[in-house]
A = this chain, B = another copy of it.
Amino acid sequence: MKKLLTLLVCVGAALTLQAQEISMGGGGVENPTINPDNSVTFTFHAPNVATIELDGEFLPPREIRTQQGTRTTTRTPLAKSADGVFTLTTPPLESDFYTYNLYMDGVRVVDPNNVYQNRDVANLINYFIIGGGHGDLFDVQDVPHGNVSKVWYPSPRAKMAQRRMSVYTPAGYNPADRRTKYPVLYIMHGIGGDENAWIDGGRVPQVLDNLIASGAAEKMIVVVTNSNMSQQASPGDAPASRHRPQLMVPGNMDGQFEESFLDVVEFIESNYNVYKDKAHRALAGLSMGGFHTIYISANYPDLFDYVCPLSAAIVAPQGDRDSYIYKDLDAKLAVQFKKAPKLYWIACGNADFLVNNNKEFMKKMDEKGYKYEYVETEGGHTWKNWRNYLTMFVPRLFK
């Protein structure tokens, strides 16, 4: 016993050195602190830093005067005490999932006192959740959890031996039970995103776990594709790809992705225990993924009964890009709507730079008498909106 204790103390001591190192990134505090009134306090011990600013959608933009005149900034400075402690407390926040960054002496960094962060294109961003309401949907709850897998599949239509997707299988899914079948939601990222985007920033695993557990949504498999045909996988997970992620990635709107989407569906339907009919397939996507949603569902009108373009980059039907995928959208839509999809669910923020394009698109649909639903929310082209849309349309699927 004595020897064991000595050893453990020794391990502890050696690792405590490392632990001290850990706490040096900001004085050992943990960020953020969510106060009883749902205000949020950020604290940093950083005596040698001159300024720390917080940039989060939960703080209003401010007007500042510079030598060049007045301009608007989304950054709010923290107050610094004489002993080098920076603090900021927000007003009480509504229950939701929030993201933020810091600017430390003008350099954008992730909060050294908060290890919880996602990558969004080339940015690492921190997050926190205010529970007790809507935000609970985005948090890990004590409910049965589904599994998330990073899955490689062949894409012969794209002449690529390997591409990667993320697959969420709901709690209880058993690969060996070929008789219990599930419906599938295919969901697509925007420009600069990849197969990680909806899993990380979109909180798909948490939202699906929670909606399924409460009975609000059907059990379903969710497949998150990578729409950038110049990539095999997200940056860092394909050969020679560990460079700064790019916003504009070649090969994501030239028809190849839409065409090779059939490889995704075929792979899922060969390798997972799923239904193989239109009534059990849904397609959704944000921004560029909304564009893909519209074109994939129109080109393959027998595939999807549930079609959800979110803040979609909608292109007028007279588009004449080289690929056949983009030709004759009007005619394709006519066929698609003659086959009466069960749900065509459009959503956009009222301040989104794409809202007018969506309205033009819907005007055309109205003229033709196509049946769709439209949800307009506050705000712009943001993950806050896309996460919310997920919580709204998933309960509508496969019912």
A109 and B106 form a contact (CB under 8 A) = no
A19: B residues at CB distance < 8 A? 122, 247
Measured CA separation A216–B126 after assembly (Å): 40
Interface residues on A, range: 35 or more
Q: Are A242 and B3 in contact (CB under 8 A)?
A: no
A245 to chain B, nearest CB (A): 6
Known: A106-B49, A109-B104. A244 touches B162 (CB 8 A): no
Q: Are B145 and A147 in contact (CB under 8 A)?
A: no
Contacts A22-B123, A115-B122; A104 near B106 (Cβ below 8 A): no
A15-30 residues with Cβ-Cβ distance < 8 A to B are 15-16, 18-19, 21-22, 24-26, 30
Q: Is A159 an interface residue (CB 8 A)?
A: no
Query: Could you tell me if A175 and B271 are in contact, using CB atoms closer than 8 angstroms?
Result: yes
Among A231-239, A301-309, A341-349, A365-373, the one that faces the other chain is A231-239
A239 surroundings in chain B (CB, below 8 A): 139-142
Q: Is the CB of A1 within 8 A of B321?
A: yes
Q: What is the CB-to-nearest-CB distance from A272 to chain B, in angstroms, rounded to a whole number? A: 8
CB pair B11–A46 under 8 Å, yes or no, is no
Contact between B319 and A3, CB atoms less than 8 A apart: yes
Residues from chain B with Cβ under 8 Å of A150 in the complex: 147-149
CB of A64 closer than 8 Å to a CB of B? no
Q: Is A10 on the interface with B (CB-CB < 8 A)?
A: yes
What is the minimal beta-carbon distance from A273 to any residue of chain B, in angstroms? 9
Mask, A98-110, CB within 8 Å of B = 1, is: 0000001111111
